[in-house]
């Protein structure tokens, strides 16, 4: 945004006018990536762990239902 404002004010598109704004945007992007990448890694690990736990609960539920069913039938 600052690059466009600098271009509009100076009526010049030289590197000296545009570079500070681009550097600011790149710095903000780098900070965003530093926050986003670990967050995505953590999310994927937690999601995988929850899926495994859900599968274990489903297996237990099926086994428990079978045991109860046998007890009621027999």
Q: Which of 28, 4, 31 is nearest to 18 (CA)?
A: 4
C-alpha separations of 1 from 30, 51, 53, 64 in Å: 17, 43, 47, 61
How many Cβ atoms are within 10 Å of 66's Cβ, its own excluded? 10
Q: Per mean pLDDT, which range of 1-5, 13-17, 28-32, 61-65 is the poorest? A: 1-5
Residue 12: per-residue pLDDT: 75
Enclosing domain of residue 12: 2-73
pLDDT bin (cut points 50, 70, 90) of residue 68 is very high
Query: pTM of this prediction?
Result: 0.65
Total of domains in the chain: 1
Q: Give the contacts of 53 (CB within 8 A, at least 6 positions apart).
A: none
Q: Which tokens hold the place of 66?
A: 């079978």
Q: Which tokens hold the place of 38?
A: 């670990």
């Amino acid at each position: 945004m600052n690059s466009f404002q600098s271009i509009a004010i100076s009526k010049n598109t030289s590197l000296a006018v545009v570079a500070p704004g681009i550097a600011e945007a790149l710095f903000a992007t780098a900070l965003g990536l530093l926050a986003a990448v670990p967050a995505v890694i953590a999310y994927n690990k937690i999601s995988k762990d929850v899926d495994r736990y859900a599968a274990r609960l489903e297996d237990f539920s099926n086994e428990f239902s079978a045991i109860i069913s046998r007890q009621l039938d027999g």
